[in-house]
Amino acid sequence: MKIAILSRNASLYSTRRLKEAGEQRGHTMQVIDYLRCYMNITSHHPQLMFQGKLMDDFDAVIPRIGASKTFYGTAVVRQFEMMGVFPTNESQGISRSRDKLRCLQLLARKGIGLPVTGFAHSTKDIEGLLDVVGGAPLVIKLLEGTQGIGVVLAETKQAATSVIEAFRGLDANILVQEFIKEAGGMDIRCFVVGDKVIASMKRQGAPGEFRSNIHRGGSAAKVKLTPEERSTATRAAKAMGLYVAGVDILRSNHGPVVMEVNSSPGLEGIESATEVDVAGKIIEFIEKHATYGKTRDRAQH
C-alpha cells in the first residue's frame, strides 16, 4: 500500500515510528507537510498537490494535525476523503475533537460518563453556573487550552468567581467542572485503534499537582483497565467518529469519566510506558480497513 502521513515534522517520534512501522510491513510511506499542500477544488475531479507533484495514488492517509493548524489541516484531510483515500481519522472527527465543549456534548448524548460540567457565556450568571456543578472546589478550564495550561483548581467559591471573571474579562471561553478529587492527580490515557483499546497508561501528577500532564512533571506507567473503563474509552472514540484516539479518563466515585478525546495522540509516552507497538497496530488497522471511498461521514457522500 501507499500511505501518506500528514505531519509538519518528519523527525517527530510519532511520525518516525509510523513511517518505520509501515515500511517494516512492506508499505511505501511518505511524510507530507500538510501546510505545503495545495488543492484544486473542481467538480468531480478534486486534486491535491505537494511540491509540484499530484498526490493521486495513495491508499490511506494518517493525519497528525497540530492543534493550532486544525483549519488548514482538516481541509487537506477532507481533500483526501473527496479523492476516495481512506483516512485513519476523518476531517469531521478531528474538528469535533478540537472543541472541548462540542466533544463533551457529543459524549453526553451517548450517555458516556463525564464530570458534571457547566458552560456559560456571561459572567452575570456565575452563581447559577457554580450551582450546576455543585459548588467549590471546582475546576475551571479554558476551552482553547492544551497540556494542562488554562486548567485551574478553585478551592473556594470566591476563588472560582474571581477566576471566572478574569477569564471572561479576557473574552476567553471557559467551562466549569466538578473536581474529581478521588482521582488523586492521576488520569488514564486509553489508546483506541478501531474498536479496541490497544494500550493504556496511567499518568500521575507531580506531588501536590492535581494535573497529571507529563508536560507538567507527571510520570507515566502501564495500567490495567477495568471492562467498564475499556468500554467507556471505545464508546467515546466511536461517539466522536474517530478510529484512532487517545481517550483520557479519570477514576471517579461514579465510575470512569472522560476528560478529553484526542485525535492525534502522541506515540512516544504510550509506547515507552507500555512497550506496545502502537504504530504497528495503526498500520495493521489500515491494512484491514482501507478501501477506496470508504468514509463514514454522511456529508461526504
CB of 185 to ligand ADP, least distance (A): 6
The residue assigned the cell 488543492 is 39
Which residue lies nearer to ligand ADP by CB, 91 or 213? 213
Pattern 183-222, ligand ADP, x by CB under 6 A: x---x----------------------xxxx---------
76 binds ligand ADP (CB under 6 A): no
Site for ligand ADP in 106-135 (CB under 6 A): 115
Q: Select from 82-90, 119-127, 172-180, 193-201 the region that touches ligand ADP (CB under 6 A).
A: 172-180
Position 146 contacts ligand ADP (CB under 6 A): yes
Q: Does 167 bind ligand ADP (CB under 6 A)?
A: no
Query: Is 263 among the residues that bind ligand ADP (CB under 6 A)?
Result: no
Per CB under 6 A, the list member of 19, 64, 98, 141 interacting with ligand ADP is 141
Q: Give the count of beta carbons closer than 10 Å to the beta carbon of residue 74.
A: 23
265 binds ligand ADP (CB under 6 A): no
Q: Which is nearer to ligand ADP, 22 or 256 (CB)?
A: 256
**Which of 46, 84, 137, 145 is close enough to bind ligand ADP by CB under 6 A?**
145
Q: Which residues bind ligand ADP (CB under 6 A)?
A: 115, 139, 141, 145-148, 151, 177-180, 183, 187, 210-213, 248, 250, 259-260
